[in-house]
């Protein structure tokens, strides 16, 4: 009986993970890339790389609903990125936060996903 419950939980987790990955990487990110290509934003490739990496981190941590991201993740992620890059590829936490704010504005506009937690650094 316990083994069946465990298998059920793993299948549920696999389903949620696959649903998120398909949605984020097959639908949202290509559409966001197109959005960036049509925008007047500078450093479009850098912005896309930051957002893609953020989606990877969310998947790895099991955060599949952008409406319910922990406030700590949103405040600490720009700092983590700034500190983790080598000096030649350094991105300031302010730019990381700006790129993520733009991404969340995109999600709200195109998918109706409002960020429940305040986003600030």
- The reported pLDDT for the residue numbered 114 is 79
Domain parsing of the chain, residue ranges: 2-111
- The reported pLDDT for the residue numbered 106 is 94
**Chain segment 71-99, per-residue pLDDT in tens:** 888 889 999 888 887 777 788 999 999 99
- The reported pLDDT for the residue numbered 119 is 56
- The reported pLDDT for the residue numbered 53 is 93
- The reported pLDDT for the residue numbered 73 is 87
Q: Which DSSP string corresponds to 2-61?
A: HHHHHHHHHHHHHHHHHHHHIIIIIIIHHHHHHHHHTS--S-HHHHHHHHHHHHHHHHHH
Say which residue the tokens 């316990």 belong to: 2
Q: CA-CA distance, 98 to 104, in Å (whole number)?
A: 10
Q: Is 105 left (phi over 0), alpha (psi -120 to 50) or beta?
A: alpha
């Amino acid at each position: 009986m316990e083994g069946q419950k465990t298998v059920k939980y793993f299948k549920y987790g696999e389903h949620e993970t696959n649903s998120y990955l398909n949605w984020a990487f097959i639908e949202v990110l290509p559409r966001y890339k197109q959005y960036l290509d049509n925008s007047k934003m500078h450093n479009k490739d850098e912005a896309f790389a930051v957002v893609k990496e953020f989606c990877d981190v969310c998947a790895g941590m099991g955060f599949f609903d952008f409406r319910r991201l922990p406030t700590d993740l949103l405040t600490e992620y720009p700092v983590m990125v700034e500190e983790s890059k080598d000096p030649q590829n350094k991105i300031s936490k302010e730019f990381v936060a700006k790129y993520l704010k733009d991404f969340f504005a995109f999600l709200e506009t195109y998918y109706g996903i409002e960020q429940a937690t305040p986003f600030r650094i």
